[in-house]
Structure 1
């Protein structure tokens, strides 16, 4: 770039800089911290004028923005008068004259596109979602009927359907085996593993018992007194170790 071009570009930049400084100098600084407080005489005057005075006039009288006047009126509990709300100065919604009635759909009025069918062109028919199709994360996590999984308790489950609540779509494999062999499980009963091994899914290893019996089998009251005492002491020891570990982590 020639020296003449540089000089011209420099003068334009200087002019823009000078204009920006002049604009900043002419713009009054915003002072949000030292807002004009409401004096008692101002509040009394607002109580007298607010019910019937239009907002543009109030902003000029009090030299305040409209929102400050609205807030102060709300704080003082003063409202517009019935005569003002019925006048032309009030908002149409506040006058309760039901604006827009003439352009609303009336009850029983048919829409302009009733009975009109639309057929998209191009490849839209090929790319539309089919009824029941999954998308996004659901499609990635979806497993077909017959798939199996292992729960946190080590129970093997098999997917038996795609509809209904998610918890009803999976069923324990040992329950399926029992029902195929011996029929439905009666109410108040469960099927358990004789050897406590949930991976040993054989019909000879399954047993039908009541829920009450299952509770008795899993309580310490079925043990001799000396063993029950040992189990309780072991529980207290585990609790003390856990509390000591938590206190150490807090330190």
Structure 2
């Protein structure tokens, strides 16, 4: 017996009858599941699922017989590795993988696999967030994202030493570049973070935008005042 909703494209759901359960119980321990499925006109997976639900299992006699498919008769022994087999490559080293392109993808000595995947040589450059950056260390104890430093910082520190706390190195007006040859000491300047905040404020960039910011602030203050007065009257 099978059930399926009208218009469904799924396989029919078979409803087992007591007679079919009796057939499965009597035949499953000693016969192949495919033979039972063919006689009951079901899929073999339905036989396995029902047998598991009923707690049925194969008998020892079935496993000994040829129908089980087990290779206890020595089939395939001629193609197996025998005990004491010596591989053809024993004692050899470096026969393959010596091409430079292969070397690039190989794990570096002393590095775990996960770290080797992110490894790049010191001096590698890339553009990140609009700035040219360079790797300054390959210390595995430092996460890969922290091994990069802006080239403009490197150039400044080479000429003037470490950057003081509270200061940043930035490009002078009109001198910004991602070309390493144009990132020179005369194109850079040391600026306090407070000064950088003032430079990046909208009022410093566009007078019209500054007016809009001021207008928005005035409107916000009026709205807050009206709401506050209304709340005071209610209380």
Assess same fold via TM > 0.5.
no
Q: Which has the larger radius of gyration?
A: 1
Q: TM-score, normalised by structure 2?
A: 0.43
Q: TM-score, normalised by structure 1?
A: 0.41
Say which structure, 1 or 2, has more relative contact order (CA 8 Å, 6+ apart).
Answer: 2
